[in-house]
C-alpha cells in the first residue's frame, strides 16, 4: 500500500490540468489552421465565368469575319474615379482654346442629365510654359522662333485657360520633362513624365485636340459602357484580355504622338509595398472601333458612324498646326466655339 502525500496529489492534479490545457490549445490551433487553409483556397480559386464572359472569350479567339454579336447586355463598367485628359506640347493658341472648349462642353448644358458624369478634367502641359508665357506688363524673354506678337497671342490663350480652369474645375498639370535645351518635347514624352499624376484614378481617357464634343452622353459611354482593363489581375480576364480595349504601351523613343487615333486609355496603379507603380495604356480594338462603341470617338474622315453618333470628333491639322477645315462640316461650330471661350485671341494672325 502506497501512501500519497499532499504534495504528490498536488503534482498529479497540476500535471493533469497542464495536459488538459495543452491538448485543448493544440486542438484549437488545429481548427484555426484548417479554417485558414479553407479561406486561402477560397480566395485563390478562379471565379466562375458568367455566360457573358464565356461569350467574350470565344469572341476574342474567333476571327472578326466569323464573330457573332453578343446578345446579352454588357456588364456595366464598375464604378470608379475617372478623368478626361487633354495635353499639349506645342503652345498653339487654337489648340489651347480647343481644349478649353472641350472642357466647357462637358458641363455647359443647362439640363444636368446632359452634363458629363466623369468626375475630373485634366490638362497637361510642359512646366516651362509657366515661365515663358507668364501674364504681366513685362513678359519674360520670348522663346526661340517666337515673335512678340505670337508670344502675346499664346499668353492670351493661356490666360483664358487659367480662367477656365477655375470656372470649369480643370486640373492644370505642369510637367517637368527635363528636356535638353533647344529640343521639342513630344506628346508621348510628356505623358510618360506626367502619368504618375494619374495614380489616384481608376482610368484616364486622353482625347486629342483640336476636336469637338458632339454628344456628352455618348462620350461618357467610352468609359462607362464597357468594363475597363484597370489594374492587371489574373483573376479578372477583362484586365488582360479585354473585349473593347487592347494594351498598347507608350513608346516615347519611337513615336511623337499617342497611339489610338485620338483616344488613349491610361491606368496607373500602385503595386507591391515599396512604392512601385504599374502604368498601362490601351487603345480601342479595331473590331469594336468599326461598330457603335468605336464610333464614339472618330476622325472627320470617318464616314461610318454606326448606329450611335460620335461623342467626340478629332480634327486633322495642317503642317503649321491650324485645324483643317476642308471636308469638315463641324469646323464652323468649332471655330465659333473657340472664339467664344477665347475672346480677343487672334488665331489667324498667329499662323501668318
pLDDT of residue 37: 47
Please report the DSSP string for 230-281 in residue order.
-S--TT-GGGTS-SSEEE----TTT-SS-SSTTEEEEEEEEETTTTEEEEEE
* Separation CA 172–CA 209 (nearest Å): 16
- For residue range 130-188, list pLDDT tens digits in order: 988 887 654 555 555 567 888 999 999 999 999 999 999 999 999 998 776 667 899 99
In the predicted model, is pLDDT for residue 51 greater than 50?
no
pLDDT of residue 59: 30
* Separation CA 262–CA 266 (nearest Å): 13
With a pLDDT cut of 90, the percent of the chain lying above it is 44
From residue 288, how far is each of 224, 253, 295 by CA, in Å?
A: 15, 29, 8
Q: Which range has the worst mean pLDDT, 3-7, 13-17, 326-330?
A: 3-7
- For residue range 224-256, list pLDDT tens digits in order: 988 899 888 889 999 889 988 999 999 988 899
pLDDT of residue 103: 97
Spatial neighbors of 204 by CB under 8 A, at least 6 apart, are 82, 83, 84, 85, 122, 198, 265, 266, 267
Beta bridge partners of 247: 282
160-166 long-range Cβ contacts below 8 angstroms, 24+ apart:
160/96, 160/97, 160/100, 160/341, 160/342, 160/345, 161/96, 161/99, 161/100, 161/123, 164/100, 164/103, 164/104, 164/341, 165/123
Higher pLDDT, 349 or 196: 196
Mean pLDDT of the chain: 80
User: Which residue in the block uniquely carries the three cell numbers 486542438?
Assistant: 27
Beta bridge partners of 83: 120, 204
Q: Which range has the worst mean pLDDT, 3-7, 103-107, 135-139, 199-203?
A: 135-139
Average of pLDDT values for 332-348? 93
Q: Which range has the worst mean pLDDT, 71-75, 121-125, 168-172?
A: 71-75
Average of pLDDT values for 263-277? 83
Higher pLDDT, 295 or 332: 332
Average of pLDDT values for 41-47? 40
Find, among 266, 270, 230, the residue nearest to 250 by Cα. Answer: 266
Three-state SS letters, 132-195 = HCCCCCCCCCCCCCCCHHHHHHHHHHHHHHHHHHHHCCEEEEEECCCCCCCCCCCHHHHHHHHH
| Residues listed for the chain | 352
Average of pLDDT values for 88-111? 95
pLDDT of residue 41: 45
Q: How much is the pTM? A: 0.74
Secondary structure of residue 129 in the 3-state scheme: helix
Secondary structure of residue 317 in the 3-state scheme: strand
pLDDT band at residue 48, thresholds of 50, 70 and 90? very low
In the predicted model, is pLDDT for residue 50 greater than 60?
no
3-state helix, strand, coil in the chain (%, to 5): 40, 15, 45
- For residue range 274-327, list pLDDT tens digits in order: 777 888 999 988 766 555 565 788 887 665 555 567 899 999 999 888 899 988
Domain ranges for the chain, please list them.
Answer: 82-226+297-351
Amino acid at each position: 500500500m502506497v501512501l500519497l502525500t499532499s504534495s504528490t496529489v498536488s503534482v498529479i492534479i497540476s500535471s493533469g490540468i497542464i495536459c488538459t490545457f495543452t491538448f485543448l490549445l493544440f486542438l484549437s490551433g488545429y481548427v484555426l489552421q484548417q479554417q485558414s487553409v479553407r479561406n486561402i483556397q477560397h480566395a485563390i480559386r478562379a471565379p466562375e465565368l458568367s455566360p457573358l464572359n464565356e461569350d467574350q472569350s470565344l469572341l476574342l479567339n474567333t476571327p472578326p469575319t466569323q464573330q457573332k454579336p453578343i446578345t446579352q447586355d454588357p456588364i456595366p463598367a464598375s464604378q470608379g474615379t475617372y478623368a478626361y485628359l487633354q495635353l499639349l506640347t506645342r503652345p498653339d493658341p487654337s489648340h489651347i482654346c480647343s481644349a478649353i472648349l472641350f472642357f466647357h462642353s462637358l458641363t455647359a448644358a443647362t439640363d444636368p442629365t446632359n452634363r458629363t458624369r466623369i468626375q475630373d478634367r485634366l490638362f497637361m502641359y510642359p512646366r516651362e510654359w509657366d515661365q515663358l508665357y507668364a501674364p504681366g506688363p513685362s513678359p519674360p524673354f520670348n522663346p526661340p522662333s517666337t515673335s512678340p506678337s505670337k508670344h502675346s497671342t499664346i499668353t492670351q490663350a493661356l490666360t483664358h485657360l487659367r480662367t477656365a480652369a477655375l470656372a470649369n474645375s480643370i486640373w492644370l498639370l505642369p510637367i517637368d520633362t527635363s528636356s535638353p535645351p533647344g529640343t521639342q518635347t513630344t506628346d508621348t514624352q510628356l505623358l510618360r513624365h506626367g502619368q504618375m499624376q494619374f495614380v489616384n484614378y481608376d482610368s484616364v481617357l486622353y482625347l486629342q485636340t483640336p476636336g469637338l464634343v458632339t454628344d456628352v452622353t455618348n462620350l461618357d459611354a467610352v468609359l462607362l459602357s464597357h468594363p475597363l482593363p484597370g489594374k492587371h489581375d489574373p483573376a479578372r480576364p477583362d484586365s488582360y484580355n479585354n473585349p473593347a480595349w487592347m494594351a498598347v504601351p507608350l513608346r516615347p523613343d519611337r513615336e511623337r504622338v499617342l497611339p489610338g487615333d485620338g483616344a488613349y486609355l491610361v491606368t496607373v496603379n500602385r503595386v507591391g509595398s515599396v512604392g512601385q507603380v504599374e502604368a498601362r495604356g490601351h487603345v480601342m480594338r479595331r473590331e469594336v472601333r468599326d461598330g457603335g462603341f468605336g464610333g464614339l470617338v472618330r476622325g472627320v474622315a470617318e464616314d461610318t458612324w454606326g448606329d450611335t453618333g460620335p461623342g467626340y470628333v478629332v480634327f486633322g491639322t495642317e503642317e503649321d498646326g491650324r485645324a483643317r477645315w476642308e471636308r469638315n462640316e463641324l469646323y464652323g461650330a468649332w471655330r465659333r466655339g473657340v472664339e467664344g471661350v477665347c475672346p480677343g485671341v487672334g488665331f489667324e494672325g498667329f499662323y501668318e
